[in-house]
Structure 1
């Protein structure tokens, strides 16, 4: 095996938004991206109380973090989306999926609701795992 496989096995729900299994070959460089919030380079929260706007900034930050490790959105294996209770999940996932739209197969995705996040006013946080076969 010389590439990452994202699988949607028979017997599990088919979704254009996520895959169920990822197989990373030996020798691939694994990249872990810690939780990204909707903050700019100075640490200021972006997007106010608009979860869609915050999610777009989070995805920009995720892209920047991946690029620092020599990877891109196309190298995502798994994404964890954490949302504050009460926000519109469709607005958040819609904004995130815009960044993932060009992928031939989507990464694994997990989402959860929490009471609050570490950054005051943050409504969404995303962490990710990527892998690059060189």
Structure 2
């Protein structure tokens, strides 16, 4: 049993993302709500997008660990980035941590007018799956 990530013929092949995924029956699915670059008190860690991006991924990792999963179990990422933030700096900070083993996960990204947390420049959510042993 394995999670199959697809990059079908007729769609662009990218090392950064797959287009579809098949999660077998019996896998445990974990949903992580949007995480910003905030510390455990809710304070934004930095006005810089790279630091916020790194912390947002750290926060996803903490949530996944609490559910018995890790970043390598992520099937799909959603990344929201403030329209005025430096996209290159954001992805430079998180791209190496988005990829799992084998084919890359699914990724949805959007530039947005703003986020719910004042001062936040990025919000990251994830869907992970853990196969039964």
Whole-Å separation in 1 of the counterparts to 2:69 and 2:3: 13
Residues 31-72 of structure 1, C-alpha deviations (whole Å, 9 max, x = no match)? 000000011111111122x11111000010011111010001
- For structure 1, the 5+ residue unaligned runs are none
The equivalent of 1:16 in structure 2 is 15
TM-score normalised over the length of structure 1:
0.93
Structure 1 residues 69 and 22, CA, compared in 2 at 3 Å: closer, same or farther?
A: same
The equivalent of 1:114 in structure 2 is 112
Alignment counterpart, residue 57 of structure 2, candidates 56, 59, 84 = 59
The equivalent of 2:89 in structure 1 is 91
Alignment counterpart, residue 80 of structure 1, candidates 73, 78, 86 = 78
Moved over 4 A (4+): none
SS in 2 for 1:42: coil
Whole-Å separation in 1 of the counterparts to 2:101 and 2:88: 20
Contact 2:34 2:125 (C-alpha < 8 Å) held by counterparts: yes
Whole-Å separation in 2 of the counterparts to 1:98 and 1:3: 22
Tell me which moved more, 27-36 or 39-48: 39-48
Structure 1 residues 62 and 45, CA, compared in 2 at 3 Å: closer, same or farther?
A: same
- For structure 2, the 5+ residue unaligned runs are none
TM superposition shift of 1:97: 0.8
TM-score normalised over the length of structure 2:
0.94
